[in-house]
Chains A and B, each alone.
Chain A
Amino acid sequence: MAGNSVFAVTVFFICFRECLETTVVVSVLLAFLKQTLGAEEDRPTYKKLVKQVWLGCGLGLFICLAIGAGMIGAFYGLGTNAFSSTENIWEGVLSIISSLVITIMGAALLRVSKLQEKWRVKLSKALEPRTQHHTQGSKRARIKRWTEKYAMFLLPFITVLREGLEAVIYVGGVGLGLPATSFPLAVVTGLAAGLLVGYIIYKGGKETSMQIFLIISTCFLYLVAAGLFSRGVWYFENHAWNKIVGGDASETGSGPGSYNIQQSVWHVNCCNPMFEGGGGWGIFNALLGWTNSATYGSVISYNLYWICTMIAYGLMIYRERHGVIPVIDPAMSRVKGYQEKAKGFVLRRPTRDETASRWDS
């Protein structure tokens, strides 16, 4: 949360990811339709169903945008200034949450090709049983027939709606401390990037270049997340410093008195990403976690973040190559379980498994 008033990086990635996931679902659907109804005599049905898919997408998108706009409008209508007295704590907490969110999303992004596979399986599960009920004529069957008839509408509609609402809740939670002006560009570019990548997947573009793109973007994501994590700790320290000084230390600008010399690792009297918009340094801060006033806490947490990342990825590599790691793997999944619970609690986000199972049954 860089105080960047133009581009909210976190928001961009949330939109990117949710959009990508939706696109994957839609692309799987379209591919499915093309496969099953590819013959010339099915042409009208095919066209009708494709229309349904796009209608579902459109309607879902429209509803989410309406709800999202309403929610964000409400947030800012209530006035985020209510938080300003504890702004540093608030921003610190949000920075760390965003950092964790990006970290988890980043790992998922690297396996996006498997996402496609997962949805293909889910779709076939969802569609197959219903075709069997087709011949029966009971009341229940009529409803089922209706759902089946419009499955090609309902599926994308619900997927878009769900992913969209998820994005809205994420963005709302993460973006509370951000200026409203930083939203539109991030949302639009995030959606655009998601669509682009989804389209590339749909078109079955070169898997190698696709994966390289994903690796680069994930590295980038982790740079942002590391910066956010360090920033979060920095905010806590800044809060403590403001408490000592008895005012907002950044009022004094970038110079002496704006930081605690006893905690300082480096301090340059320029390039302050927080002061008067920050200019280019604000973006530098948002992308790489730059600060003109590094503290022991912020430097240590930055390095700690990367060390943890290395350990986690090292373990994941090990697991892929050698299977389940004895002692550590069960512990990891337990921790992830907690993480998921915590995330669900903080962001009030329904966990994926619940929704997925609702759909499956």
Chain B
Amino acid sequence: MPFLNRLFIWLGAAVVFALQCQAKTVTYDFNVTWVNANPDGLYERKVVGINGQWPLPVIEVEKGDRLVVNMYNGLGDKSTSIHFHGMYHFNTTDMDGPSMVTQCPVAPGQSITYDFMVNQNGTYWYHCHTDNCYPDGYRQALIVHDKDAYFNDMYDEEHVITISDWYHDLMEDIEPHFITLANPTGAEPVPNSFLFNDTTGLNIPVEPGKTYLLRLINIGAFVAQYFYIEDHTFRIVEIDGIYTEPAEADILYISAAQRYSILVTMKNSTDKNYPIVTVADSVLLDLISPDLQLNQTNWLEYNHDAAHPEAVMTVDVCSDLNPFDDITLVPHDKLPLYTNPDHKLEFTVTMDNLNDGAGYSFLNDISYVRPKVPTLYSVMSSGSLASNSTIYGEYTHPVILEENEIVEIVLNNADTGSHPFHLHGHVFQLVERYPSYGPTFYDHATGDPVAYDASNASTLPDYPARRDTFVVPPQGYFVIRFKADNPGVWLFHCHIDWHLTQGLAMTFIEAPTLIQERVKIPQQHYDICAAAGVAHEGNAAGNTADFLDLTGQNEQLPWLPAGFTAKGIVAMVFSVVSAFLGMGFITMYGISDLKKGGQGQDGSSSDENGAEY
């Protein structure tokens, strides 16, 4: 019966889209195994390959297609999953991919099928969403072509360009040195190199006068990159799957997980090749080793035989570059600003140490700790209690959203670094950001953080830009809004993978009763839980008898003890007592000299003096 339910939903969707286009099913079979690769030419390492290949295959579908991905985990030593970044998964939240949120981790030897309708368009990507697995190479572009895109007749050819940071060590070797006593500041591991389409020094052959659509995706785990092409400007036509009115720009700042589609028109001469320059945002990095190449040059190759000049840096530090401010973009569909939000949320980002001395990240003092049962499965198994946020545990930081309410998130960043925040299952409207991109972006990086003040809000845009990943400035804030029109369990988190590991995430449970009605989880997904030894029923603590009893839930570590604890007081008392006792002895000795009085005059004790020093 549930199968039939699901079928009906698809049938319904199919009927709708059959009117617009011929929907088809696109199937990918992924056998995930370790392979070797040396993408930067510096170091060969083990990477996660698909069907024995790396770089991974780009998933390409048409808008309205049904996408089926059959993944077999052949890694042997690691659990995995796939998140289709930017996909809305309308009524298929179970296909979203994050482990312990909407599914169980897929253990070695297990298979999972992701099956969902793609009723959206633009530039996306897919990546592993289990522990720190995607920086090991498990990430690639996902393109949804749209024959109705308004800019289709404005370009001749398109290219997908991924940019990424790259580590030479396996995540399993880096991770143990990250959240430890020895790294109290939570300094993120610094990458060893930066890749451009999973290689370096790439030539993109171009023909003079033509216009190209470049789909730019930062598939990195950590570092944002500036992007520009020497002597070329371009027009932005899409961000994170949302078409925008063409906007002229010359420099982009692409954080981890962000996408831009740009139209670049070539010059009419073929005298010269032009560097495509990517500059890693070194402000994010802790200690930069001198052999880390922060600036990469690739080329628009007009003429294979002409010189391929290296990029000339125009600034001393990358933060002097003034990137295009994405909040100023206007969506092509002119969706108006959501007004009068029903549900206002305010979060503050902080970094602090817990009592193991290691660095963690917090949203309103909660560092995300994964539950014992994937949150979606708690929704499915809790009946009428699904609308009670208690059952999802304190440390998944759950917030329940009512269907169709307008949600406003104010994100105050009390940390001195910038953070690209990503919301699963939605794009959100970019309502406000302070400080904006440009020369003032780092104005509050030192000093006190500036929190959002509703009474001091600037004029809001009529048609705010929308995207799914947005950067909050150092010690600044942003305000975003979205409509809770997509029932599901959606993570809201910093897309710097290190910060996600440190707990910079929270969970939205959107219209839980509708999730129970509309989502049918395939038996295979439950079987994966069994294979992984994870419960698929119960509250966050795995309790199926009493959903309100959270005893045994995964918790964040206690805070550092503040000031004087019992042992501190004991130590202090002991020290004071021994100091006074010691001084008592000194006084006794001193007074004994006095008591002897005139005896000192007879010189009998002079030899004693000699012994004193």
Which A positions have Cβ atoms within 8 angstroms of B? Answer: 104-108, 110-111, 113-115, 117-118, 121, 207-208, 211, 214-215, 218-219, 222-223, 226, 244-246, 249, 252, 256-258, 260-262, 264-269, 294, 299, 302-303, 305-307, 309-310, 313-314, 316-317, 320-321, 333, 336, 340, 352-353
Shortest CB-to-CB span from B562 to chain A, Å, is 8
Docked CA distance A215–B352 (Å): 48
B contact residues around A267 at 8 Å (CB): 560-561, 563
* Closest chain A residue, CB of each to CB of B600: A113
Whether the Cβ atoms of B593 and A110 lie closer than 8 Å is yes
Contacts A111-B612, A215-B590, A266-B563 hold; do A121 and B585 have CB atoms under 8 A apart? no
Q: How far is the CB of A356 from chain B (nearest CB, A)?
A: 9
Closest 5 CB pairs of A and B: A257-B184, A266-B568, A256-B353, A215-B590, A261-B357
Complex Cα–Cα for A269 and B559 (A):
14
Residues in B neighbouring A266, C-beta threshold 8 A: 563-565, 567-569, 571-572
With A207-B597, A303-B575, A306-B582 known, 16 other A-B pairs at CB within 8 A are A104-B613, A105-B613, A107-B613, A111-B612, A113-B600, A118-B609, A215-B587, A222-B586, A246-B182, A257-B357, A261-B357, A268-B564, A310-B582, A320-B592, A320-B608, A340-B613
**B583 interface residue per 8 A CB criterion:** yes
In the complex, chain B residues whose CB is within 8 Å of the CB of A246: 182
The residue on B at minimum CB distance from A321 is B592
Please name the residue on chain B nearest to A215 by beta carbon: B590
Q: A262-B181, A307-B578 are in contact. Are A313 and B356 (CB under 8 A)?
A: no
Q: Are B612 and A265 in contact (CB under 8 A)?
A: no
Chain B residues 19-56 with CB under 8 Å of chain A are: none
Complex Cα spacing A223 to B586, Å: 11
Knowing A110-B586, A306-B582, say if A215 contacts B591 (CB, 8 Å).
yes
**Is the beta-carbon distance between B587 and A314 smaller than 8 angstroms?**
no
A317 and B592 contacting across the interface, CB-CB below 8 Å: yes
A261-B353, A317-B589 given as contacts; is B606 within 8 A of A117 (CB)? Answer: yes
Given the complex of chains A and B, what is the CA–CA distance between A262 and B358 in angstroms?
11
Whole-angstrom distance between the Cβ of B598 and the nearest chain A Cβ:
9
Using CB atoms and an 8 Å cutoff, list the residues of chain B in contact with chain A: 181-185, 352-353, 355-357, 359, 560-565, 567-569, 571-572, 574-575, 578-579, 581-583, 585-594, 596-597, 600-601, 603, 605-606, 608-613
Nearest-neighbour CB distance to chain A for B246, whole angstroms, equals: 47
B514 to chain A, nearest CB (A): 42
Q: How far is the CA of A267 from the CA of B606 in the complex (A)?
A: 48
26 contacts between A and B (CB under 8 A): A104-B612, A107-B613, A108-B609, A113-B593, A114-B606, A114-B609, A121-B603, A211-B594, A218-B590, A244-B181, A245-B184, A252-B185, A256-B353, A257-B185, A257-B353, A257-B359, A261-B357, A265-B568, A266-B568, A266-B569, A269-B562, A306-B578, A307-B578, A313-B589, A317-B585, A336-B611
Of listed A111, A208, A336, A353, residue having the most chain B CB within 10 A:
A111
C-alpha gap A113/B182 in the complex (Å) = 55
Residue with the highest number of chain B CB atoms closer than 10 Å, among A110, A222, A223, A317: A110
Separation in Å of the A210 CB from the closest CB of chain B? 9
Q: Provided the pairs A303-B574, A340-B613 are in contact, do residues A111 and B585 lie with their beta carbons within 8 angstroms? A: no
Shortest beta-carbon distance from B595 to chain A in Å:
10
Interface residues of A, dominant DSSP: helix
Does B586 contact A313, Cβ atoms closer than 8 Å?
Answer: yes
Q: Answer whether A117 and B612 are a contact pair too, CB < 8 Å, given A215-B591, A222-B586.
A: no
| Chain B residues with CB under 8 A of A302 | 575, 578-579
- CB-CB < 8 A to B182: which residues of A? 244-246
CA distance A268 to B582 in the complex (A): 27
Closest Cβ neighbor of B601 among chain A residues: A117
Q: Which B residue sits closest to A117, measured CB to CB? A: B603
Shortest Cβ gap from B277 to chain A (Å): 32
Whole-angstrom distance between the Cβ of A293 and the nearest chain B Cβ: 10
| Nearest CB of chain A from residue B285's CB, rounded to whole Å | 14
With A211-B594, A257-B184, A266-B568 already in contact, the answer to whether A114 and B587 are too (CB < 8 A) is no
Asked if A115 and B613 make an inter-chain contact with CB atoms under 8 angstroms apart, the answer reads no
Q: Which of B590, B591, B600 contacts A117 (CB 8 A)?
A: B600
Please report the C-alpha to C-alpha distance between residue A312 and residue B353 in the assembled complex, in whole angstroms.
44
Residues A260 and B357 in contact in the complex (CB < 8 Å), given A226-B579, A266-B564, A299-B571 = yes
Determine how close the nearest CB of chain A comes to the CB of B466; give it in whole angstroms: 38
Q: Which of B356, B571, B572 contacts A261 (CB 8 A)?
A: B356
**B183: chain A residues within 8 A (beta carbon):** 245
Contact of B611 among A268, A269, A333 (CB under 8 A): A333
Taken together as a complex, chains A and B put the C-alpha atoms of A226 and B353 apart, in Å, by 32
Is there contact, CB below 8 Å, between B594 and A260?
Answer: no
Q: What is the CB-to-nearest-CB distance from A260 to chain B, in angstroms, rounded to a whole number?
A: 7
Q: A256-B353, A266-B565, A266-B568 are in contact. Are A309 and B592 (CB under 8 A)?
A: no
User: B583, A222: Cβ atoms under 8 Å?
Assistant: yes
- Which residue of chain A is the closest to B581 with respect to CB atoms? A310
CB-nearest residue of chain B to A329: B611
- The distance in angstroms between the C-alpha atoms of A244 and B181, with both chains bound, is 9
A262→B592 CA distance, assembly (Å)? 45
Residues of B within 8 A of A256 (CB): 184, 352-353, 357, 359, 560
B612 near A107 (CB under 8 angstroms)? Answer: yes
User: How far in angstroms is the closest Cβ of chain B from A265?
Assistant: 5
Whole-angstrom distance from the CB of A185 to the nearest CB of chain B?
26
Greatest chain A CB density within 10 A among B569, B586, B591, B613 is at: B586
**Contacts A114-B606, A303-B578, A310-B581 known; A317 to B588 CB distance under 8 Å?**
yes
CA distance A261 to B578 in the complex (A): 25
> Taking CB as reference atom, which chain A residue is nearest B579?
A306
